[in-house]
Structure 1
Amino acid sequence: MPDTPFGFALPGGQPPDPNDPQQMQQFLAGLQQLMAMSQSGGGPVNWDLARQVATTSLNSEGDPAVSAADRAEVDEALRLADLWLNPATALPSGLVTTAAWNRNEWIFNTLDVWRKLADPVAERMVAAMGDLVPPEARAQLGPMASMISSLGGALFGGQFGAALAKLAVEVLSAGDIGLPLGPRGTAALVPANIKAYGAGLELDPGELRLFVSLRETAHQRLFGHVPWLRGHVLTAVETYANGIRVDREAIEEALSRVNPADPESMSELQLEGIFTPDDSPQQQAALRRLETVLALVEGWVTHVVEGAAEGRLPNVVRLSETFRRRRAAGGPAEQTFAALVGLELRPRRLREAAALWAALTEHRGVDGRDALWAHPDLLPDEEAFADPAGYATGADSAVFDLSALDDLDLPPTEEGPAPQDGPKQP
């Protein structure tokens, strides 16, 4: 991105010449507009600006349109994959509708969940920007001192929008990073990203698309028919985020470099690196809970998909290992997101979690394994990862009443009734 005062394009355009009154007047008008936008957002982050920045970034890099052929291929792959999952899991279909999104549509359809994840961190950052201006810097800034806090929401929104744009170029589906980001019951793929990802794999594009579809429809089944899971995962993320500390020294240092006579000095206000995890026992416990639930979700999806694809996709072993490494390592965009809000999205202990679900399937069957999703207290804890076979056969994992599976259908909500029937065969 070009060097602009806030790390993204301002309404006023490029940084003005401080010696040019007309440019300075235009620049200040742009700042006023930016302040108005941030104040009208009703929260710590200017999400309208975040979406605008993300859209501008994607449009400049290219956002391939979704063709009619793409939509037909995605719909067929998702519905076929959902049928393949039937014998692999006791959870019924969670597929209500299919979608093929471009990158902008992925952002638009996931922004509400991102808001829930980022607002707790952003709120502390915005408050800190207003409260932690050193006295000497406050005197230097003069009238701009009060502007700093007002612009905090716009600053975070702009940089978060840039991070979302990077993620949108990498994600393959709505549930690709393991969080329930998209609308309930909507299984969605991003065809352009799947094509780009598959370019170096030397695999049949249809086979890759089916594998991604299996992962997406497995996520839909899990989050669609385990009514407590969506809130449980988002609460775990929020609890961990609430324990992230704002580095006061980093903010003070950045603000002290702002020179009111040089608006371009605002480019020093960068968010990356100002958030650090708290080392308190409570925060460490929150991190373990978050890592455990992310690993259990991803491990279950991995195991179920491998079972459904066995004998159907010739390169299932290679694909499984490729995606396991991809999820464990995280891409550049996930690293950017981690730096921005202090939260890593990639699941740790993924291999152990998948081995645990495999052991539970072997010793208790598909129904007994999936019955564990009936209540959060039934799920394995992190200690079970160390000895999957022992956990699966031990007293603590006695077979639960399989009638608990009857409770895994979602009740009707404001988003519409829960899916009850599987999709029609394509």
Structure 2
Amino acid sequence: MPQDGSGSLIDWNLAVRAGKRFSPASPDVSRREADDAVDELYRATAQAADVVAELTHLHEPPVTAVTRVIDRPAWIETNAAGMRNVMAPVVERLTEDNPVGKVAERVGGRLTGIQVGVVLGFLSGKVLGQFEFFERAGGQLLLVAPNLVAVERQLKVDPHDFRLWVCLHEVTHRVQFTAVPWLRRHMLDEIDALSASIDTDPAEMRRRLSGAVGELVKVVRGQGNGAGVLAVLATPEQRAVLERVTAFMSLVEGHAEYVMNAVSPTVIPSQQVIENRFATRRRRGGNPLDRLLRRVLGMEAKTRQYIDGSAFVRTVVDRIGVDDFNAIWTSRETLPTRAEITDPELWIARVHA
């Protein structure tokens, strides 16, 4: 693969350029407003670390992950680099001794680059924050300042409270992956399992692609199960991995959601107002095109991860307390299954029997 990212199955340079082109315009702010927002987000991240430690009882080692307050183009560049690292073994498997993959590599790199860029451009206007650990092994906490400003204006909430509220969520993710260091290896192993299970038989690839087209028609009609078009492309082996990944993501997202909404009113006085208005915004899902893209990308399922995961964490903590809940981070075997996410008593019975 050329080092510049072109000439491969995905033209990553073109993906970045397309992503920036399709990224929405940033909100109108003065230079001083922008500088103040950036400074406050850095301070809020530091403040959030103490609150997260108190609520989770997880002990974060000395922080090595960098915190970056960035704009949408920088978010696109960072995530394109991370995706390239993650997908390298997948691309290699698709093109290794596979005539279909080699043809796609020769003629399809630009097309797939544009497709990836469109997705990155769309998401760049949605993501408020992210703990990213695919580009840098130590991880980096990203806060997308234009999106935070846009949402706090749309919700008409207190900017200071809202920024700290979001930072609580993202710092919780940082604590999860640093206080429990095997989580990162777990995620990488699951990605490797997905890569190893790819069926490169041309006939089978065509069959699944046909099914994905059918699912796309359902999505456009407002049907489907919310898992997104890409889920249809999965083999039975990959679906088993995706079940585990879904349960894992429900846990880590729900845990962060639980923390940000369990914070004391003395820390965030308008927390309840923010939570209610943000939940209403999430249910509405934006304009019709926005809702369509969310369904295509499987982001409806992502919303359910927040809801189911938060309910799971809240139920377990209420039943057995934070310290016994933290047994969940002991090993891969103590992580909840997808069935246990929706029935927390099953997890309590299995792990604390």
- Compute the TM-score of the two structures, normalised by the length of structure 1: 0.63
Aligned to 2:269: 314
CA contact (8 A) 2:250 2:341 kept: no
Instruction: Return the offset for 1:328.
Output: 7.8
Q: Please, which of 36, 39, 46 is the counterpart of residue 79 of structure 1?
A: 46
- C-alpha deviations, 1:239-272, integer Å up to 9, x for none? 4575586436969xx9xxxxxxxxxxxxxxxxx9
Correspondence 1:351 to 2:318: no
Question: Partners of 1:304 and 1:69 in 2: how far apart?
Answer: 26
Q: Please, which of 3, 20, 45 is the counterpart of residue 10 of structure 2?
A: 45
Q: In structure 2, do the counterparts of structure 1 residues 167 and 126 end up closer, same or farther at CA, with 3 Å as the change threshold?
A: farther
RMSD value, Cα: 4.1
SS at match of 1:200: helix
Q: In structure 2, do the counterparts of structure 1 residues 387 and 37 end up closer, same or farther at CA, with 3 Å as the change threshold?
A: closer
Aligned to 2:218: none
Correspondence 1:100 to 2:108: no
SS at match of 1:247: helix
SS at match of 1:92: coil
Question: Partners of 1:368 and 1:354 in 2: how far apart?
Answer: 17
Aligned to 1:9: none
- C-alpha deviations, 1:156-184, integer Å up to 9, x for none? 11221121111111111124xxx756643
Aligned to 1:408: none
Q: Please, which of 155, 165, 168 is the counterpart of residue 111 of structure 2?
A: 155
Question: Partners of 1:45 and 1:218 in 2: how far apart?
Answer: 33
Aligned to 2:206: 247
Aligned to 1:217: 171
Aligned to 1:138: none
Correspondence 1:302 to 2:257: yes
Q: Please, which of 246, 263, 268 is the counterpart of residue 291 of structure 1?
A: 246
Considering fraction of residues, name the structure with more helix: 2
Instruction: Return the offset for 1:71.
Output: 2.2
Q: Please, which of 69, 79, 86 is the counterpart of residue 36 of structure 2?
A: 69
- C-alpha deviations, 1:122-150, integer Å up to 9, x for none? 66877999639xxxxxxxxxxxxx98651
CA contact (8 A) 1:198 1:205 kept: yes
Correspondence 1:227 to 2:181: yes
* Count of aligned pairs: 324
Question: Partners of 2:91 and 2:273 in 1: how far apart?
Answer: 40
Question: Partners of 1:158 and 1:169 in 2: how far apart?
Answer: 17
SS at match of 1:188: strand
Q: Please, which of 79, 82, 89 is the counterpart of residue 56 of structure 2?
A: 89
Structure 2: which amino acid aligns with 1:189? L
Question: Partners of 1:76 and 1:69 in 2: how far apart?
Answer: 11
Instruction: Return the offset for 1:338.
Output: 7.2
Correspondence 1:397 to 2:351: yes
Correspondence 1:169 to 2:134: no
Which consecutive residues of structure 2, in runs of 5 or more, have no partner in the other structure?
A: 214-227
Question: Partners of 2:249 and 2:44 in 1: how far apart?
Answer: 26
Structure 1: which amino acid aligns with 2:255? W
In the TM superposition, 1:166-205 aligns within 5 A as 166-175=122-131, 180=133, 183=136, 184-205=138-159
Question: Partners of 1:165 and 1:186 in 2: how far apart?
Answer: 20
In the TM superposition, 1:122-133 aligns within 5 A as 131=100
Q: Please, which of 339, 345, 349 is the counterpart of residue 383 of structure 1?
A: 339
Instruction: Return the offset for 1:52.
Output: 2.4
Instruction: Return the offset for 1:151.
Output: 2.2
Instruction: Return the offset for 1:362.
Output: 2.9
SS at match of 1:157: helix
SS at match of 2:68: strand
CA contact (8 A) 1:384 1:391 kept: yes
Q: In structure 2, do the counterparts of structure 1 residues 366 and 195 end up closer, same or farther at CA, with 3 Å as the change threshold?
A: same
CA contact (8 A) 2:85 2:135 kept: no
CA contact (8 A) 1:109 1:182 kept: yes
Aligned to 1:25: none
- Compute the TM-score of the two structures, normalised by the length of structure 2: 0.74
Q: In structure 2, do the counterparts of structure 1 residues 327 and 382 end up closer, same or farther at CA, with 3 Å as the change threshold?
A: farther
